[in-house]
Structure 1
């Protein structure tokens, strides 16, 4: 972050939780009608270039001043009747014609309010500066009243819709000083005082209601996002447990079946098979403890690494160990690595390992008697992993819950922009091919 961005962040202040929701079509229409009506009213009011000023100080003056209107004669005093109010002299003032820059300022005092919810703070300053510029010239009293109303709407919009609290507070304070220094506050009759008192109260109550409504909407969005995160985490855990358990359990099943077959005729081979079952079981338990240690890890609690063996996540560097376990089960596996080996990102390395693990597991379970080939190719910007078999002595059959491993792999690869293609080969057998983009860290 640059110094300018840091400075602007401090000036704007923290964002509020009540960020405005997307505007509906009717909100745009309402703001457009409000801005247009205020702009038209300001233009019409500013065209009234004459006004009458009451001058009590001219009562009894013998020499009239320029623009003084004829004073009607006072009613005669009658005996026994209280004297009525005496006529007050009045002076008519005529302002100069409206200039072009004044017409532009008049339009800018109200028309920007159409964007008051989208850019509240900017609109507030445009309206305020335009009102100040307009009153640097000769503004009519009617135009002053409308520009004051437009300023109130702009200030309310800035306070309610701008997410930058510090900037809003400073802007409203500066605007109040401008309205106090320049003649921007109109003279109002005593009959309008209740309206001026009740209008801010109504705006404040509406603002509180709108604030609470936004808070409820934001809370609902946060709860929905939390539920989605929990569901995604559950799916990730399910994929991880599937990858950890299925492969080793499949190896144990194959080795146990082989031990049972040769137990009577070749006890030594049966003993080796049982040792392989034991090794696969230990590996499965170790990886399960690793996953469960990650799930029970807390920020404030004790370090789970003390009680759980947290081995690093597997990658293609453990490909030889993986294929050796499959060969021990009686399935011949050929491995070919193409291209210059590079250090992959941890996520890509783990995803590639899981692709090979799932494909070998499916080959052991569904392709009895087949030969399996594993190809890992390091390209310029992507990694290609392919596992294919020649087909077993019995056709593949669907099992309850089958296909979840491939679905999980597709979801895992999609995180890194990778693709997975799995299906039967034209000349028999099955092939799983994954392409994962990667970047050198």
Structure 2
């Protein structure tokens, strides 16, 4: 069984698709082998074939073979090439064998990083210098030594440069991949934020309209027999409220369908300019509402205007839902760098006050708030604002401040 494993490895090596660069190394090794043998034959033409000659030929062939294996076993190839260069040079062979050492040195330097990087080229250069000084007795041996050592060093430093270049390419690719991941994360976060905005819009539209419809339907049921005229009026209010809610939801759906829509008519963006119409809707639900606008009304940024309107709408819807027929005030105060929305009610009657006490306590700071108050807090936070909601006398007060410009947040709301 042990003999099968090497056979399988040999078969896998022979049948797998060869790498193009390895094939190129084999061709380069063959050319170098022929060239070095020819140069060695010229330098040894006047000497007879002996053991030294055979050893030089073997050393040249082995040095050439290290070129073919330098990508598969870089460090081993470099070591064998350095030893062969020493032997061939010491026996007076062709000093051009230093090219084999330089090529293997390039591969070693390009494929790995070493703490003592100068040790390997230093040892190879010393071996080459020793071989040249031993085997060359001509007057120009110093020049030959310097040239061969320079060739080895050039190969090594070229490998270092190639590795640094490759590392820079890899780092650039990783940075690009990281930027793409961050961009994808920003896109996902934008989608999440957009879903939250849509959820808030749907909540405000549906909760406000359904609360008004529920209140008016209850009134109609109680006076069905005694006051038919009021029933007809209530049905008209229900119809108007339903149509308006459907219209706003249809506009919201159109915005979702048309991602790049630029028609402002497709964008459901009511604002504080519609506060009077909102007050009329609340009055139709039986709330004695007083609208108090302070300061000079001015155009607000679209996002601030919509959020301020939705906060007022949600606060008044809570008045209808929890206090029922009562007195309330909607105060809108325009200031230089912010706008304040305040909704105050007198509270429900005694029986209903006892019924809704638990619901109202949830809105106090430090306790769990309903989805309406959560949405209002999120809207104010978007514009560095504040929201206060809690009991006020026998009733309830919601006070919100939204910034209309890039200023530092105020410490307190207006009382």
- Interval of TM-score (by shorter of Structure 1 and Structure 2): 0.5 to 0.7
Aligned to 1:202: 163
Post-superposition Cα deviations, 1:381-417, rounded to whole Å, max 9, x if no partner, equal 2211110111112232439997112211221222222
**TM-score normalized by the length of structure 2:** 0.57
Aligned-partner Cα distance in 1 for 2:137–2:184: 73
Tell me which of 164, 174, 185 is aligned to 1:224. Answer: 185
Aligned-partner Cα distance in 2 for 1:311–1:207: 48
CA 1:187–1:267: 2 relative to 1, 3 Å: farther
The alignment partner of 2:336 has SS state of coil
List runs of 5+ in structure 1 lacking aligned partners.
Answer: 1-36, 38-81, 91-185
Equivalences for residues 198-277 of structure 1 within 5 A: 198-277=159-238
Aligned to 2:103: none
CA 1:310–1:207: 2 relative to 1, 3 Å: closer
Post-superposition Cα deviations, 1:111-155, rounded to whole Å, max 9, x if no partner, equal xxxxxxxxxxxxxxxxxxxxxxxxxxxxxxxxxxxxxxxxxxxxx
List runs of 5+ in structure 2 lacking aligned partners.
Answer: 1-115, 117-134, 363-367, 407-415
Q: Given that residues 339 and 403 in structure 2 are in contact (C-alpha distance below 8 angstroms), is that contact kept between their aligned partners in structure 1?
A: yes
Aligned to 1:85: 138
- Determine whether 1:372 maps to 2:328: yes
Deviates most, 198-207 or 403-412: 198-207
Q: Given that residues 285 and 325 in structure 2 are in contact (C-alpha distance below 8 angstroms), is that contact kept between their aligned partners in structure 1?
A: no
Greater relative contact order: 1 or 2 (C-alpha under 8 angstroms, separation 6 or more)? 1
Aligned to 1:67: none
- Determine whether 1:416 maps to 2:383: yes
Q: Given that residues 289 and 309 in structure 1 are in contact (C-alpha distance below 8 angstroms), is that contact kept between their aligned partners in structure 2?
A: no
Runs of 4+ residues deviating >6 angstroms: 87-90, 399-402
Aligned-partner Cα distance in 1 for 2:377–2:224: 41
Aligned-partner Cα distance in 1 for 2:136–2:396: 116
Aligned to 1:286: 247
CA 1:261–1:236: 2 relative to 1, 3 Å: same
Q: CA deviation at 1:229?
A: 1.2
**TM-score normalized by the length of structure 1:** 0.54
Q: Given that residues 376 and 387 in structure 2 are in contact (C-alpha distance below 8 angstroms), is that contact kept between their aligned partners in structure 1?
A: yes
CA RMSD of aligned residues (A): 3.3
Tell me which of 400, 403, 406 is aligned to 1:437. Answer: 403
Aligned to 2:372: 405
The alignment partner of 1:85 has SS state of coil
Aligned-partner Cα distance in 2 for 1:329–1:389: 14
CA 1:192–1:428: 2 relative to 1, 3 Å: same
Q: Flag the structure with higher helix content.
A: 2
Equivalences for residues 88-237 of structure 1 within 5 A: 189-237=150-198
